[in-house]
Amino acid sequence: MGDVSRYAARSALAAGWQGKYLLAHDTLMGAARLASNTQVDSLLQHAGLNMIQLKADAVSHGALIDALLQRNDTEVRALGIRGTPGLLVGRHIISGVYDVAGLERAVAIARREHEARGD
């Protein structure tokens, strides 16, 4: 994860203390490309987050946020996911962007495999 991606992830997690994790996540994931920390802040501010509180929460909960990001990084590496977005559908790793039809096909395949194994 690059510096801007890490900053964006930390910011989204810090937004959780405002009860706005999903708003922050969706806002940042909807951006075409995150090029700077300033852009991340601007997007979140325009989405309605209290940036003063977000910065304070990022500091006061920094150890917890860092531990969660480290755990996620460890799990992603163990699964072999390279890049974002990365999804686990059944036992398959999907890297990159899929349209709804592509995701529906992946879920259907995973369900058939699940039923065939009798899990």
What pLDDT score does 42 carry?
98
Task: Evaluate if pTM is beyond 0.85.
Answer: no
Percent of all residues in the chain with a pLDDT value above 70, rounded to a whole number? 97
Report the distance separating Cα 117 and Cα 119, nearest Å: 5
95 strand-pairing partners? 86
Report the distance separating Cα 4 and Cα 93, nearest Å: 24
Rg (CA), the chain: 17
Q: Phi/psi of residue 33, each to 5°?
A: -160, 130
What pLDDT score does 38 carry?
97
| pLDDT tens digits, one per residue of 78-108 | 888 877 677 888 888 887 777 888 889 889 9
| Closest CA relative to residue 34, chosen from 103, 72, 84, 69 | 84
Q: Where is pLDDT greater, at 62 or 2? A: 62
- Map 36-101 to HEC letters: CHHHHHHHHHHCCCCHHHHHHHHHHCHHHHHHHHHHHHHHHHHHCCCCCCEEEECCEEEECCCCHH
What pLDDT score does 117 carry?
86
- With cut-offs at 50, 70 and 90, classify the pLDDT of residue 118: confident
87 strand-pairing partners? 94
Percent of all residues in the chain with a pLDDT value above 90, rounded to a whole number? 58
